[in-house]
Amino acid sequence: MTATLPDLDQELAIDAATADALFFEARTANTFSDEPVSEETARAIYELAKMGPTMMNNQPMRVTWVRSAAAREQLAHRMAEGNRAKTLAAPLVAVLSFDADWHEQFPVFLPHAAERQEMFDGEEKAGMRESVGKDNAHLQAGYFIMAVRAVGLHAGPMGGFDAAGVDEDFHAGTSRKAFMVVNIGKPGENPWYPRLPRLDYATATTTL
Ligand SMILES: Cc1cc2nc3c(=O)[nH]c(=O)nc-3n(C[C@H](O)[C@H](O)[C@H](O)COP(=O)(O)O)c2cc1C
């Protein structure tokens, strides 16, 4: 346990080993071993991530699993140079996108009030729809990273890539808009950058 608050473990409702695996010892991996990540594990990651809360339960995040060597090679061409090697090395890569037409799923995610879809219908609502979709998909991306940790793997989230190019290659003819790429797997050689400082409680919080 590497938390700076003494006696933090007294506040936890989960055991210290679980808190370490999800938070304190969990790191962003920058290299990966070639140990495969199974389809069952990918499903488990989604099953966990989908349970996190979103506005009206709207769940706008979509996942494009990039698994084959050919698809990872294609994706690497759209990554910033410093992100290419790790994307090629990771056994599984998730392109996270938001569905710009997420409101079409109202009957699924809000069946008792599906008529609320009308609030988001039409071209004139596209901007509002996009901002609600993007915000909530980013929330879900946080749950997704924690889900990767919960199945005992490491995530390497990246924003450094050509999103329009990724959409052209992987999302043509759909309303998915890529916003994050996440490498997934077991860490390889020298996987960590130095741990960077976190803001303390007094800086980041206010009590009224
Ligand atoms: C939204 C997002 C975008 C990121 N983009 C990149 C990136 O393009 N390249 C990279 O090497 N790391 C990227 N990172 C990794 C962060 O720098 C890293 O998660 C952070 O410094 C914490 O590292 P730690 O988990 O090892 O403490 C990104 C992380 C997030 C959450």
Is residue 152 one of the residues assigned to a domain? yes
Is residue 157 one of the residues assigned to a domain? yes
Is residue 27 one of the residues assigned to a domain? no
Ligand 1, atom 7, lies closest to the CA of 158
Percent of the chain at pLDDT > 70 equals: 98
- Give 3's pLDDT tier (boundaries 50, 70, 90): low
Is residue 150 one of the residues assigned to a domain? yes
Domain of residue 112 covers 37-188
Report the residue count for the chain: 208
Structurally, the chain folds into a number of domains equal to 1
Q: Which atom of ligand 1 is nearest to the CA of 193?
A: 26
Q: What CATH number does the domain containing 177 carry?
A: 3.40.109.10
Is residue 119 one of the residues assigned to a domain? yes
Q: What is the pLDDT of residues 81-107, one digit of tens each?
A: 999 999 999 999 999 999 999 999 999
Does position 6 have pLDDT exceeding 80, yes or no?
Answer: no
Is residue 30 one of the residues assigned to a domain? no
Q: Which atom of ligand 1 is nearest to the CA of 26?
A: 25
Is residue 72 one of the residues assigned to a domain? yes
DSSP for 86-153 reads HHHH-SEEEEEEEETTGGGGHHHH-GGGGGGGGGG-SGGGHHHHHHHHHHHHHHHHHHHHHHHHHTT-
Select from 158, 166, 184, 195 the residue to mutate for testing ligand 1; criterion: most ligand atoms less than 8 Å from CB: 158
